[in-house]
């Protein structure tokens, strides 16, 4: 009974947040990325590498050539960048610099086996995971984009989902349960990679 109540609670919370979880097999010198469909209040994520060959989750994010350069060369691990859509777009166009990601919400100085961060600033947030090593890397990603903000602009370039076209009714009302939703999500839906 309580699991059903918990499931319904999480299901209700999911309607007020954009949650993604999945596995990717990240080839060397390649990046994976996923963006919120519109402006949101923040981003929360946990990225972990695995020694196991995980099966990639279908239709989970996008891949791009290039992987970023760590401050120190690494043999294993990944680099993790949280950025806004406009910052990521600059990176995808080949204009990568330290200004194309949010330093506090990224694991970018050296390759890591695990990176969990949270940023609570309204934006169209994106997560990019890069593999600068010479070997493919299996990665598990749990990602939550918080409830959308009251964005009143009609600039289509600010909405990477839907082909850059802002949709009517993109705004979802907040239930104010971001942390509770995240904890329930972790308790009921977390994929154990060990």
Gap between the Cα atoms of 193 and 35, Å rounded? 24
Q: Where are the domains of the chain?
A: 19-148
- The 10s digit of each residue's pLDDT in 52-78 is 888 899 999 999 987 766 666 788 999
pLDDT of residue 10: 44
State whether CATH 1.10.10 applies to domain 19-148.
no
Is residue 47 pLDDT above 70, yes or no? yes
pLDDT of residue 15: 44
**pTM assigned to the model:** 0.68
Between 22-31, 45-54, 59-68, 177-186, the lowest mean confidence (pLDDT) is in 177-186
Phi-psi domain of 162 (left: phi exceeds 0; alpha: psi -120 through 50; beta: other): left
Residue 46, classed as helix, strand or coil, is strand
Question: Band of the pLDDT at 92, cuts 50, 70, 90?
Answer: confident
pLDDT of residue 23: 96
């Amino acid at each position: 009974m309580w699991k059903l109540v918990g499931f319904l609670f999480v299901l209700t919370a999911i309607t007020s947040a954009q949650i993604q979880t999945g596995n990717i097999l990240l080839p060397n010198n390649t990046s994976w990325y996923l963006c919120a469909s519109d402006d949101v209040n923040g981003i929360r994520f946990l990225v972990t590498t695995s020694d196991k060959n995980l099966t990639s989750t279908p239709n989970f994010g996008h891949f791009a050539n290039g992987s970023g350069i760590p401050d120190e060369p690494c043999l294993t691990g990944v680099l993790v960048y949280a950025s806004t859509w406009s910052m990521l777009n600059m990176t995808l166009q080949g204009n990568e610099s330290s200004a194309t990601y949010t330093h506090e919400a990224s694991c970018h100085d050296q390759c890591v086996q695990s990176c969990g961060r949270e940023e609570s600033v309204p934006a169209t947030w994106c997560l990019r995971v890069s593999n600068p090593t010479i070997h493919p890397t299996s990665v598990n990603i749990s990602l939550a984009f918080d409830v959308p903000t009251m964005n009143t602009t009609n600039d289509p370039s600010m909405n990477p989902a839907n082909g850059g076209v802002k949709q009517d009714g993109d705004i979802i009302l907040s239930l104010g349960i971001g942390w509770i939703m995240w904890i329930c999500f972790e308790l009921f839906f977390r994929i154990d990679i060990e």
